[in-house]
Amino acid sequence: MLYEYDALSSRRVPDAVVFPETTAEVSAIVKLAASAGLPVIARGAGTGLSGGAVVIEGGLVVSLARMKKILEIDIENERARVQPGVVNYDVSLAVADFGYCYVPDPSSQKACTIGGNVAENSGGPHTLCAGVTTNHVLGLEVVLPDGSVIHTGASHWDRPGYDLTGLMVGSEGTLGIVTEITVRLTRLPEAVKTLLAVYDRVSDATATVAAVTARGITPAALEMMDGFMLRAIEAATHAGYPLDAAAVLLLEIEGLKEEVEETSFELEAVATENHARSVRTARSAEERDLLWRGRKNAFGAIGRLAPNYYVQDGVIPRTRLVQMLDYIGEVEQRFGLHIGNIFHAGDGNLHPLILFDGRDPEQRKRVVQAAEAIMTRCVELGGSITGEHGVGIEKNELMPLIFSEDDLEMMRRIKSVFNPQALLNPGKVMPSGKVCGELRIQVN
Amino acid sequence: MRGAAADIQTDLTAIAGDGSASIEPDACAAYAVDGVTPSCVLSPATPEQAAELLLSVADRGLAVIPCGNGTKLGIGAPPQRYDAALSLRELNRTTYYEPDDLVVSVEPGMTLGVLQQMLAGRGLWLPLDPAGGERATIGGILAANSAGPLRMRYGGPRDMVLGMKIATADGKIVKTGGRVVKNVAGYDLAKLVIGSHGTLGVIVEATFKLYPRIATRATWAIEIDSLDAGREFRRRLLASPLRPMRAVLLNASARTLVQSANREVTGSRRMMIWIEAGGSASVIARYERELSGLAAHMNASLKPAGNSEDAEVWKGLADFGNRLASQRHTAVVLRAALPIAATEEFLKRAEQHGRVEGLEVAGVAQLGVGAVEIGLSSIPSPEQRVPNPTNVEKLRRLAADLGGSLIVTHCPVELKPRIDVWGPRGDDYETMRRLKEAWDPSFILARGRMIGAFESGRAMT
Ligand SMILES: Cc1cc2nc3c(=O)[nH]c(=O)nc-3n(C[C@H](O)[C@H](O)[C@H](O)COP(=O)(O)OP(=O)(O)OC[C@H]3O[C@@H](n4cnc5c(N)ncnc54)[C@H](O)[C@@H]3O)c2cc1C
């Protein structure tokens, strides 16, 4: 029986929420909680999509929202030191005048925090060619569940010893609370070009993505939206997307002027070969911003179409895109649900959005079944159940789809080194062995 | 001794199957590490066999060191126990190749050269230029997270691995990550194993994301007079829109070393910057124009390297440490990791230190990366005196003063026990030690080389 997610959200009330401003305060709070045997859950902006910051059995929520100082910007060393509550976009904003940016740009970048990004190893449209969060973090300050403070990595590459930074990134707040982050900054490109390729058939758009990958063309970003999403977005954002298209690809190229010219020429040719109806180039910074605003506000736009939606985060080899989209179409039919497709196509990271009415328990049951069918198919095609949103409490019971008991055992050993009492973010990431079959996260 | 070794060998042969374990003295000697020769060489032919071997090693209370082609085996404290070399050379197959998805999985014994050759057939490559170059095995590159100057543009090995299979000390094969370019399911065990120098698990398969081969590449040389000029060049380069593939600065001694293998030494005492860029003809022309401008700022000129010279320079660089160590048996090779802006200053201070101590300092700085390789040897008769181990500590302090750290990658066997390879522990050391214990409770993997070393009382701090 599908659980009552509204009821559940009311059951998940923390015992207290604290807003520390310093590492010492975080450490003191964690120590206190440990001595009282209380769970501790770190929280950034709460934009996570896998229920990572959700309170399961009560406990203390440590909000990092007030630790939002950019502590140091060091352009010559291409790095910045920030507190975990700093909003992702603010880092790029702070260094833009120097001609730099912080690469990982989740669509939620105007709200989500660097601490949350580190916890989830977040990606974004521009991580296609430049790498996700883990590729842009040099060092961390971490408060362990016993209140001790450690410093992993450094403010440069290659500190001797194990790469604990690499292990912490993506650990979803289950190994420690990150209280400071040294990120790499990247020089802004000389030239940027944004293209919108318009298709009358979804399969032509996916075929274009496969061809771009196979030919080794590396755009900075390669996003896809289907017609259903386009119309929803256009109604909400007026981004200038064609209303009658079956799908569009949003492509961006960065680099030296010469490189951008050549690559955009190649991309246009591939799109045309794959029956793009038109390929439009953004002519101004405003037009470019508008195209991206549409993409980045897409989830919000869906709110106009259905009371609720459930975002998936599967990944597949890019050679399987056409097959996968066909399958999602089948799932839509089979379960009688609307599914919008919007995703980081260049990475093979899909975000099918399942629309439904959460007030209808029967629909909710179908949503869960549809989601599981999609995730299972991703795994069958050689992919993964999550590309960037994390496991959280949403997919922890699905971990055995991709990991054996031996694989999980090595992860558990790591967890027990850092978090032996499981007081830090309990019930997340690792499967508990309970049967799944319910919608475990609160949907929008 | 031989008897015990023969017992071990008999035991291990039974598991490994005929021919996959050897006690031949010559075979064993080839796998000596820091003067310690193993009694046996194990050469599993499959990942499963590797895992079974580990289990039986653990059961018998023995210790192994996973080995590839040995280009980076010098890195680490002397082993506290070393019964068998686990040679991964025969584990060298391609297990998955999807060129259209830019993904490949290979076993650890494959050399980078063989992999690159296979990838070239489909216009792809793995942009890595580790120590040891093409001879380096994939397993060794990952175990050492060995990145060369290409890291400026492409990142290092840790940034290219999508997934991995690891044989554990308790004889299991575990998987982490996958074969897709984005994946956040579960802890990133690969990050932990990459750079752990064989102390946590044995990499038995690694999956990489691939890159399209660059159509045309060009290398240029700029001769400069001082490290200050080098610093100025690096600053201007990083502040420009250019994104070269790699750039290095060699001091005069390093230049002689790297180039002497290929042709007559010019005898020039000047420093050299080598820089490589790739792209279409018009992109290369743009680089040439702008780099000429940058060189002119320092009253230097840009010289294109010829095609063959081009490749030789980068090859020579990848072999810098190994070549130095084999040419001068007294040489100590160090690797400093520094903030990007501190590289030239570190090299400068190291040179000063060398002048005071009567040591020759050969230095290669990877620009835009923050890595500096330093070869120390005594002058005027390089073959005779082993540098005093205090030099390592002095240079380590210089690196620390600039916000960096330093490890020893090559040093004479007799010096090793008196040298701290890794440097001071951080406040995260206890966590590292517990991770080692959690994954390898009997310390069968490279015992004492990285973590145990600190317990042996050998560490300086
Ligand atoms: C509209 C929308 C678009 C999105 N687009 C993307 C996208 O393009 N790419 C992408 O990757 N994600 C995306 N997300 C998901 C989400 O924004 C990211 O996962 C983000 O990194 C979460 O950051 P947060 O600050 O909101 O963290 P929260 O949601 O508050 O927390 C997430 C997890 O991190 C842990 N955590 C938070 N701070 C810390 C800390 N300091 N130390 C330790 N653990 C901590 C929490 O315990 C929790 O497990 C999107 C979400 C929305 C709503």
Angstrom CA distances, B293 to B177, B232, B236, B298, stand at: 45, 13, 10, 9
Number of structural domains chain A divides into = 3
CB contact (8 A) between residue B101 and residue A160: no
Burial class (CB in 10 A: 0-12, 13-18, 19+), B66: buried
The one-letter code for the residue type at A50 is S
* Structure tokens that stand for A236 in this block: 């909400």
Number of structural domains chain B divides into = 3
Note whether A81 and A99 are same-domain residues: yes
Q: How confident is the model at residue A24 (pLDDT cuts 50, 70, 90)?
A: very high
- Which neighbouring-strand residues pair with A73? A80
- Using the 3D structure, point to which of A134, A153, A187 is the last residue of a domain: A187
* Structure tokens that stand for A136 in this block: 């842009």
For this complex, say whether ipTM is above 0.90: yes
Note whether A83 and A179 are same-domain residues: yes
Note whether A138 and A87 are same-domain residues: yes
CB contact (8 A) between residue B182 and residue A347: yes
- Using the 3D structure, point to which of B212, B239, B261 is the last residue of a domain: B212
Q: Is the CB of A116 under 6 A from ligand 1?
A: yes
Pairing status of strand B246-250 against strand B271-279: antiparallel
Domain, as residue range, for B408: 320-418
Q: Tens digits of per-residue pLDDT, A221-239?
A: 999 999 999 999 999 889 9
CB contact (8 A) between residue A166 and residue B180: no
Cα of A166 vs centre of ligand 1, distance in Å, is 17
Q: How confident is the model at residue A2 (pLDDT cuts 50, 70, 90)?
A: very low
Residue A412 lies in a domain: no
Note whether B101 and B199 are same-domain residues: yes
Q: Ligand 1, residues A22, A90, A112: which to mutate, most atoms within 8 A of Cβ?
A: A112
Q: Is residue B441 within 8 angstroms of chain A, CB to CB? A: no
Residue B346 lies in a domain: yes
Q: Is the CB of A180 under 6 A from ligand 1?
A: no
Residue B374 lies in a domain: yes
Residue A381 lies in a domain: yes
Q: What is the structure's pLDDT at B1?
A: 45
Note whether B98 and B204 are same-domain residues: yes
Q: What is the structure's pLDDT at B459?
A: 37
Interface of A with B in 314-353 (CB under 8 A): 315-319, 344, 347-349
* Number of Cβ within a 10 Å radius of residue A39: 22
Counting from 1 in the atom list of ligand 1, the atom nearest the Cα of A52 is: 49
Residues of B in contact with A126 (CB under 8 A): none
Q: What is the structure's pLDDT at B452?
A: 64
Residue A105 lies in a domain: yes
Note whether B152 and B126 are same-domain residues: yes
Residues of B in contact with A395 (CB under 8 A): 185
Domain, as residue range, for A233: 191-295
Distance between CA B374 and CA B378 in Å, rounded? 13
Note whether B192 and B283 are same-domain residues: no
* Structure tokens that stand for B91 in this block: 């584990």
Residue B433 lies in a domain: no
Q: Is residue A167 within 8 angstroms of chain B, CB to CB? A: yes
Note whether A202 and A265 are same-domain residues: yes
In this predicted model, which residue has the larger pLDDT, B405 or A11?
Answer: B405
Q: Is residue A190 within 8 angstroms of chain B, CB to CB? A: yes
Residues of A in contact with B178 (CB under 8 A): 315, 382-384, 402
Residue B449 lies in a domain: no
Distance between CA B112 and CA B96 in Å, rounded? 16
Q: Is the CB of A139 under 6 A from ligand 1?
A: no
Note whether A97 and A168 are same-domain residues: yes
Q: Ligand 1, residues A19, A21, A26, A43: which to mutate, most atoms within 8 A of Cβ?
A: A43
Angstrom CA distances, B223 to A368, B233, B249, B251, stand at: 65, 11, 10, 10
Residue B184 lies in a domain: yes
Note whether A143 and A99 are same-domain residues: yes
Q: What is the structure's pLDDT at A7?
A: 33
> Residues A106-117: what's their mean pLDDT?
97
- Using the 3D structure, point to which of B183, B212, B241 is the last residue of a domain: B212
Q: Smallest Cβ distance to A156: which of B282, B339, B428?
A: B339
Check which CATH number belongs to the domain holding A178 and give it: 3.30.465.10
* Structure tokens that stand for B67 in this block: 């080995």
* Number of Cβ within a 10 Å radius of residue A97: 8
Q: Tens digits of per-residue pLDDT, A262-298?
A: 999 999 999 999 999 999 999 999 999 999 999 988 8
Alpha helix ranges (H) inside B155-305: 157-160, 189-193, 227-239, 252-260, 281-297
- Using the 3D structure, point to which of B212, B236, B267 is the last residue of a domain: B212
Contact A436, A398 (CB under 8 A): yes
Contact A356, A233 (CB under 8 A): no
Residue A423 lies in a domain: no
| Segment holding B87, helix H or strand E | strand B84-87
Q: What is the structure's pLDDT at A444?
A: 61
CB contact (8 A) between residue A317 and residue B103: yes
Q: Tens digits of per-residue pLDDT, A151-195?
A: 999 999 999 999 999 999 999 999 999 999 999 999 999 999 999
Note whether B176 and B226 are same-domain residues: no
Q: Smallest Cβ distance to B407: which of A160, A216, A411?
A: A160
Q: Is residue A72 within 8 angstroms of chain B, CB to CB? A: no
Residue A3 has pLDDT above 90, yes or no: no
Q: What is the structure's pLDDT at A237?
A: 87
Q: Is the CB of A352 under 6 A from ligand 1?
A: no
Cα of B7 vs centre of ligand 1, distance in Å, is 56
Q: Tens digits of per-residue pLDDT, A196-216?
A: 999 999 999 999 999 999 998
E strands, B43-160, are 64-67, 84-87, 94-98, 103-106, 124-125
Note whether B182 and B242 are same-domain residues: no
Which residue of chain B has the CA closest to A207? B100
Note whether A165 and A242 are same-domain residues: no
Check which CATH number belongs to the domain holding B354 and give it: 3.30.70.600
Q: Is residue A410 within 8 angstroms of chain B, CB to CB? A: yes
- Using the 3D structure, point to which of A389, A415, A430 is the last residue of a domain: A389
Note whether B190 and B273 are same-domain residues: no
- Which neighbouring-strand residues pair with A182? A81, A139
Residue B399 lies in a domain: yes
Cis peptide before A400 (omega within 30 of 0): no
Contact A277, A198 (CB under 8 A): yes
Residue B336 lies in a domain: yes
Q: What is the structure's pLDDT at B18?
A: 64
- Using the 3D structure, point to which of A269, A295, A321 is the last residue of a domain: A295
* Number of Cβ within a 10 Å radius of residue A336: 9
| Segment holding A141, helix H or strand E | strand A137-143
Residue B7 lies in a domain: no
Note whether A273 and A202 are same-domain residues: yes
Note whether A179 and A114 are same-domain residues: yes
CB contact (8 A) between residue B182 and residue A319: no
Average pLDDT along chain A: 93
* Number of Cβ within a 10 Å radius of residue B271: 24
Q: Ligand 1, residues A54, A55, A108: which to mutate, most atoms within 8 A of Cβ?
A: A108
Note whether A135 and A148 are same-domain residues: yes
CB contact (8 A) between residue A414 and residue B370: no
Check which CATH number belongs to the domain holding A231 and give it: 3.30.70.2190
Which residue of chain B has the CA closest to A122? B184
Q: What is the structure's pLDDT at B81?
A: 94
Interface of A with B in 98-157 (CB under 8 A): 99, 120-121, 123, 127, 131-132, 134-135, 144, 149-152, 154-157
Which residue of chain B has the CA closest to A140? B428
Q: Is residue A164 within 8 angstroms of chain B, CB to CB? A: yes
Residue A24 lies in a domain: no
Q: Tens digits of per-residue pLDDT, A30-72?
A: 999 999 999 999 999 999 999 999 998 889 999 999 999 999 9
CB contact (8 A) between residue B371 and residue A157: yes
Q: What is the structure's pLDDT at B307?
A: 64
Residues of A in contact with B162 (CB under 8 A): none
Check which CATH number belongs to the domain holding B199 and give it: 3.30.465.10
Residues of A in contact with B286 (CB under 8 A): 256, 258
pLDDT along chain B (461 residues), means of 10: 64 69 91 95 95 92 94 93 96 97 97 98 96 96 97 96 98 97 97 97 98 92 94 97 97 84 56 95 97 94 80 88 88 96 98 94 96 89 74 96 97 92 95 96 95 47 30
Using alpha carbons only, give the angle B47, B52, B56 rounded to the nearest 5 degrees.
Answer: 150
Q: What is the structure's pLDDT at B21?
A: 86
Residue A12 lies in a domain: no
Interface of A with B in 47-66 (CB under 8 A): none
Q: What is the structure's pLDDT at B330?
A: 86
Q: What is the structure's pLDDT at B385?
A: 74
Q: Tens digits of per-residue pLDDT, A407-444?
A: 999 999 999 999 999 999 999 999 987 765 566 666 66
Note whether B196 and B262 are same-domain residues: no
Q: Is residue B180 within 8 angstroms of chain A, CB to CB? A: yes
Distance between CA B140 and CA B146 in Å, rounded? 8
pTM: 0.96
